[in-house]
Amino acid sequence: MRRNRAAPRIWDTDWLMLRPLASRLREQAQRHVPPNTLMVDLGCGEEPYADMMRQMKIDYRGADIDDGATLKIDQQGRVPLDDYTAGAVLSVQVLEHVRDLNSYCAEIWRLLKDDGVLLLSTHGTWLYHPHPEDHRRWTRTGLIADLSDRGFTVEEVHAIVGPLATTTMLRLTGFAFFLRRIPFIGSTLAAFLAVVMNLRAVLEEYVTPAQIRDDNACVFLVRARKVAK
């Protein structure tokens, strides 16, 4: 899974979403996170983007509630680092699982230096997927407003996968779930279907006008900075 999220294959059901997300993350980090910057991945999971960031000489450190992370998040949601020590915070597909947005965003704000950058992605549209909880989805306007209300200035927003291709991805996810339950050949059938439907979705992305995709994305990736208090 760690390799797939940063380098998905066309036979993966979420290839169309993960491929541009990884590409955009790399682009944003190259442009806005200098080498040797301390980057905290807040809610890192299996750290799928660790290798990517370290290849750019970024001082990447994953933080999560599980013991496997480099930095253990405590019960109050705090990372064991001093205030204003991180030059960058990474948050990839975490925000929709956060119950208390105020606490999560306050920890990002606390960790970031005054000139630090936040790279954050979350869902505009997707299936319910609790890990262990799943609380909300965003519009472009709503995501900007929620971050702005919590002390951040959003500098850039990227929309990833428009509504037409998203519907194909959702159908693929459902079909693949049932195909994989077929003994012996299920995984092969699911992979073949993924290739076919991913190629279809590429065409659907091509014909979707940018203004429609921008406001109706499957995933939004933002670059933001903290507002000094």
Q: Which domains does the chain have, with CATH numbers?
A: 2-162+210-226 (3.40.50.150)
Instruction: Indicate if the pLDDT at residue 72 is higher than 90.
Output: yes
Q: Cα 2 to chain center, whole Å?
A: 13
194: buried, middle or exposed (CB in 10 Å: 19+, 13-18, 0-12)?
Answer: buried
Instruction: Indicate if the pLDDT at residue 229 is higher than 80.
Output: no
* CA neighbor of 1 nearest in space, from 36, 49, 71, 61: 49
CA–CA separation, 219 vs 123, rounded Å?
A: 4
CA–CA separation, 226 vs 134, rounded Å?
A: 26
**Weakest-pLDDT range from 130-134, 166-170, 204-208:** 130-134
Helix H or strand E segment including 155: strand 152-160
Of the pLDDT bands very low, low, confident and very high (cuts 50, 70, 90), residue 3 is: low
180: buried, middle or exposed (CB in 10 Å: 19+, 13-18, 0-12)?
Answer: middle
DSSP, res 8 = -
Residues 6+ apart with CB under 8 A from 189: 179, 182
